[in-house]
Amino acid sequence: MIPGHWSQVMGGSQYQAKCLIEALQRTDKYEIFYLTRGSDPEYSAKGYSLIRYEYFGAHKQGSHQHLFEMAILPKLLRRIDPDIIYQRVGCAQTGIAAHYAEKNQCNMVWHIAHEYDLDPYRIPVSRLMVHRLLDRCLLNYGIRHATHIIAQTEDQKQLLQKNFRKKPSAVIPNFHPAPQKTLAKGLPVSVVWVANFKKLKQPEIFIRLASELRDLPGVRFLMVGAIQEGNRQKQKYLEAIRQIPSLEYLGPKRQEDVNDILARSHIFVNTSLREGFPNTFIQAWFRSVPVVSLTVNPDHLIDRHRLGRVSGDFERLKQDVALLAADQVLRERLGTNARHFAYQHFSTQNVDDIMRILDDSP
């Protein structure tokens, strides 16, 4: 159970779900159903059943959305009659899945996707206040009643213990298939940003970075991702990008294309306020690309293992990118560290640990 499907939008959780399903299919041990409220109507699932539920006005947020889910999801689950529910992305679905599992004696595994899901919640006054309160209440119920919880990082484990007084069943890093081909990193030096454009990702900071470093010789800047904000904000982004000759917006791309872009790139930049564990870090590291992160540094891996730089503020971010763009030796040393670390810690062998939890019946 995941709110979205990768055929509609390829976020980190959707990509991890895709990798997990492909691994489960290879074992031939599971009958798999993917229950979601968002997928491409033209997409045809192979080797598993895709069940999409929707309702009138589903594109709008509001408490009616969760009331609908509380009514329809138990019915769909009873129809499937699952032995195991794997739920990712903290939301109302988390609580609904946990409640169904409790009442029907099945295994409910919640996989943490973001640190925000583990924070004490402060309800902002807005027209969506009731929606957010209900969503949070259902999420908190799910966290407290899940059969198993999987954390991505030690940081998440500590937040879970601090704020919910629960220990995860395991800390399992995200996993990716290793690259099948090696692409040469020619010139110019490519500095790439990959994410869906939304507030938490702060794409405007990368645009500013490209603008202020526009005079760096032999350097180009690339942005990849779907613009998920309103049309007015989208036009602002596109106009700002057009003003910078060395910056190119490539639009949304398939994961295979993102990996090819990263394989030819030299520096990966992350400007997010906060994340769970960015899949793009792992994709970049597998391809010898050091990460320069504004703030995100899960388990302090970047500085502890010399996988790039953690800047902390914009001026330092600008300095770090300029340094790595100019210093090929340093850039390649960090990239080599990153590739070795990725192969050691983020391989598809991590799926075996997840399957052991899935098979641990209550």
pLDDT band at 67 (very low <50, low <70, confident <90, very high): confident
DSSP state string for 104-148: HT-EEEEE---GGGGSPP----STTHHHHHHHHHHHHHHHHH-SE
**Which of 159, 57, 40, 140 shows the shortest CA–CA distance to 99?**
140
User: Could you tell me the two tokens for 174?
Assistant: 């995200």
Q: Cα–Cα distance between 13 and 214 in angstroms, integer?
A: 34
Residue with tokens 């990702």: 201
Q: Name the residue ranges covered by the structural domains of the chain.
A: 12-174+348-358, 189-345
Radius of gyration of the chain (CA): 21
pLDDT at 116: 87
269-281 pLDDT tens trace:
999 998 889 999 9
Residue with tokens 């906060």: 274
Would you say 191 and 267 are in contact if contact means Cβ atoms under 8 Å apart?
Answer: yes
The domains spanning 12-174+348-358 and 189-345 adopt the same CATH topology: yes
127-158 pLDDT tens trace:
777 778 888 899 999 999 999 999 999 999 99
Q: Cα–Cα distance between 236 and 195 in angstroms, integer?
A: 17
Q: Cα–Cα distance between 2 and 73 in angstroms, integer?
A: 12
Tell me the whole-structure pTM to 2 decimals. Answer: 0.88
User: Could you tell me the two tokens for 69?
Assistant: 């889910």
Per CATH, is 189-345 categorized as 3.40.50.2000? Answer: yes
Q: What is the second-level CATH architecture of the domain 12-174+348-358?
A: 3-Layer(aba) Sandwich (3.40)
pLDDT band at 43 (very low <50, low <70, confident <90, very high): very high
